[in-house]
Chains A and B, each alone.
Chain A
Amino acid sequence: MTATADFPQQRIMTEKHPPVLEVEKLQISFRGDDSSTTVVEDVSFTVGRGEVVGIVGESGSGKSVTSYGIMGVLPPNAEVTASKMFFAGAHDLVRLPSKKRRRLQGKEISMVFQEPLTSLNPLMSVGKQIAEPLRYHEKLSRKEAKRRTVEALRSVGIPRAEQTYSSYPHELSGGMRQRIMIAIALVCEPQLLIADEPTTALDVSVEAQILRLMKKLRRTTGTSILLITHDLGVIAEMADRVVVMYAGQVVEEAEVYELFREPRHPYTKALMASTPKIEEVRDELESIPGAVPTPSKMPTGCRFAARCPKAMEICSERPPEVELGSGAKTRCWLYAEQETGS
């Protein structure tokens, strides 16, 4: 799984999918005691039917918060606004009343969380936890729900599914727990799966299994996947299209082949340069000098400027989002000329 080598050429997709998710100008802030901090701002992207869209970015860039916003599981002090956040073209996720939203959660949109060790209820058998969405959304009988649960356990590659059904989370390894999380997310066959760093906490061989599993699922059920990671290797292996986030904003979006062949934004370039070709160091993004600005000290201009080798004077002004054709976009002054030229 190296970042730049061996990704299949046929990934270049020109065919347009009808979008499962359309996000436009998403903004998420957290209300504090006396002030409010905006941690996600002006985030826009779409996920087509059957498409795998990757979101990459350093720690703290707002990947998880964005996905919680889509999923509708932000804490009560969060404020979400967007000019558009549509699911399957029909449901406005920003304004959806909570009762209707619950009908989508776990059924049409589901999520695998970043923390496999703490995301399962310690007092409930994993079988019951997988069966829960079936019982509530599909109103299945206990028996039927159990049958489907055991099936789901098998499909995520868990040996002795019947036995595992009545296990408790603390009896299972991290990899097993992550499979359980995936089984919960997939048991109702959702249209959109959000996977937030599904493999970060796992070792490399388990990671490979989980990724293979997700690929298979996408192939067999046509589920769209929003895959969040800070591992470009995972992106190269899995994604059709990539959204690069920096300090709460999307700084670049491109098809995966194009992104690796011709990264535009200096941040994307730095990301690639700092990714080791052989997977040894896991925290590979640390090596970009400087640090992500904190939400309270966010510069008004380009947020990457302080760390950018190509920073110019104009970068202290808010950079434009430049359309580069074939769906690629970047938020950088370097390309502002091209837009007016094209």
Chain B
Amino acid sequence: MLYRIATSYWARYALQIIPVLLIITFVIFFLVYIAGDPVGQRLGDNASPQQIADLREAMGLNRPFHVQYGEYMWNLVRGDFGESYMYGRDAMPIVLDRLPNTFLLGGAAMLISIAMAVPLGVLSATHKNSVLDVVVSGLAVVGKAIPNFWLGIMLILVLSVSLGLFPVSGSGSWAHLVLPAITLSGGVTAELTRVIRSNMLEVLNQDYIRTARSKGLPHQVVLYRHAFRNCLVPCITLLALTTPLVISSAIITESVFAWPGIGQLLVNAVTAADMAIVQAVVFVTALLIIAFNLAADILNKVIDPRIRFE
């Protein structure tokens, strides 16, 4: 029974993903088609019109739109995203090589956000209108408003350049991870703290919290097992919804700190008009966003039995 409900759920999810993927790939193709004539960039300013025409011919850029699109889709289906001209090999493996670094950075940022936002959000709800609450709320507003790159540069100036606590940029050790992870976590921490606080304030007024207190349970058990757990669904939903935002700030953060993830790769590829890499990164990113939303959906269903696999 549950199995059948679950399979129909998956089936419907899969059916929803297909049009999303079609649209995304089309948009990628279209953007590259109108914006990215890579030929001029590759040949430099001194190329003769003849050279340009020859390269265009060789790259198949003279063919009609639908032919190019058909070929592009056919290649995608076979997992071929084209050859990166920067690296001289297939684009997708290059992107996948960089992906673990981005995951490491994103995961570390996520852990920092959760480790900060959960206690701060819960405490500012239980100590509503206290000094702590006012300070935390203020910090959350500031945290949301600060641009990512600015926070990153400030951290570098203070903690790396002046105090020498962490390396300025690059990768290779845990110390390299600290500043970019903090930079990336800033916005999410602020938003998550705010969401936890407001949800906790609501949940703490619920009748079942009074029941939990009437059982003589330790304060922390009432607070976390009974109250905070009822805030998890909105928190997870928030995290899923902010994934695109986090990915875009990851691009900036990776560039600021020269962190070798897909964000930095994307920036380099755009600068060099390496469209194969750009397409591959955008495609992977889109898949990641879909995957995170699906994961959030499943997690919410596991946490809250009232949400069904419908």
Contact = CB atoms under 8 A, between A and B. Distances in A.
Contact of A119 (B207, B216, B217, B218): B207
A105 B217 CA distance: 8
Nearest to B206: A118
Interface residues of B, number: 22
Interface string B295-308: 00000000111100
B230 interface: yes
A119 B230 contact: no
B50 interface: no
Contacts of A170: 305-306
Given A123-B229, A136-B217, A136-B218, A184 B305 contact: no
Given A115-B207, A123-B230, A168 B216 contact: no
Contacts of B214: 71-73, 105-106, 110-111, 113
A248 interface: no
Contacts of B217: 102, 106, 132-133, 136
A156 B303 CA distance: 28
A129 B210 CA distance: 13
A121 interface: yes
B215 A184 contact: yes
B208 A118 contact: yes
Given A118-B206, A136-B216, A181 B211 contact: yes
Nearest to B203: A121
A47 interface: no
A103 interface: yes
Contacts of A181: 211
Interface residues of A, number: 32
B211 A133 contact: no
Given A122-B306, A123-B305, A168-B305, A113 B211 contact: yes
Contact of A121 (B216, B230, B303): B230
A137 interface: yes
Nearest to B216: A105
Contact of B208 (A72, A120, A137): A120
B213 A105 contact: yes
A230 interface: no
A170 B70 CA distance: 52
Interface string B280-310: 0000000000000000000000011110000
A149 to B, nearest CB: 13
B213 A73 contact: yes
Interface in B205-252: 206-208, 210-219, 221, 225-226, 229-230
A216 to B, nearest CB: 22
A107 interface: yes
A107 B221 CA distance: 17
Interface string B83-96: 00000000000000
A104 interface: yes
A137 B215 CA distance: 9
Contact of B303 (A105, A119, A123, A137): A123
Contacts of B208: 118-122
B230 A122 contact: yes
A99 B102 CA distance: 47
Nearest to A71: B214
Given A122-B230, A170-B305, A104 B216 contact: yes
A120 B218 CA distance: 18
B215 A133 contact: yes
Interface in A34-86: 68, 71-73
B211 A119 contact: yes
Contacts of A184: 211, 215
- Select the residue from A71, A103, A122 with max chain B CB neighbours within 10 A: A122
A113 B210 contact: yes
Nearest to B303: A123
Contact of A102 (B206, B211, B218, B304): B218
- Select the residue from B211, B219, B221, B225 with max chain A CB neighbours within 10 A: B211
B233 to A, nearest CB: 9
- Select the residue from A102, A123, A136, A184 with max chain B CB neighbours within 10 A: A123
Contacts of B304: 122-123
- Select the residue from A104, A129, A181 with max chain B CB neighbours within 10 A: A129
Contacts of A129: 211
Nearest to A117: B207
A212 B101 CA distance: 66
Given A113-B207, A119-B210, A132 B303 contact: no
A211 B216 CA distance: 26
Contacts of A98: 219
Nearest to A103: B216
Interface string B177-191: 000000000000000
A330 to B, nearest CB: 32
Interface in A92-108: 98, 101-107
Given A119-B211, A122-B230, A102 B216 contact: yes
A110 B219 CA distance: 17
A87 B219 CA distance: 22
A123 to B, nearest CB: 5
20 contacts: A68-B210, A71-B214, A73-B213, A102-B217, A105-B214, A107-B216, A115-B207, A118-B207, A119-B210, A122-B208, A123-B230, A123-B304, A123-B305, A124-B225, A129-B211, A132-B212, A132-B215, A133-B216, A136-B215, A136-B217
Q: Nearest 4 pairs between A and B by C-beta?
A: A105-B216, A106-B215, A102-B216, A106-B216
Interface of B: 206-208, 210-219, 221, 225-226, 229-230, 303-306
Given A101-B216, A110-B215, A132-B215, 4 more contacts: A73-B213, A104-B216, A105-B215, A113-B214
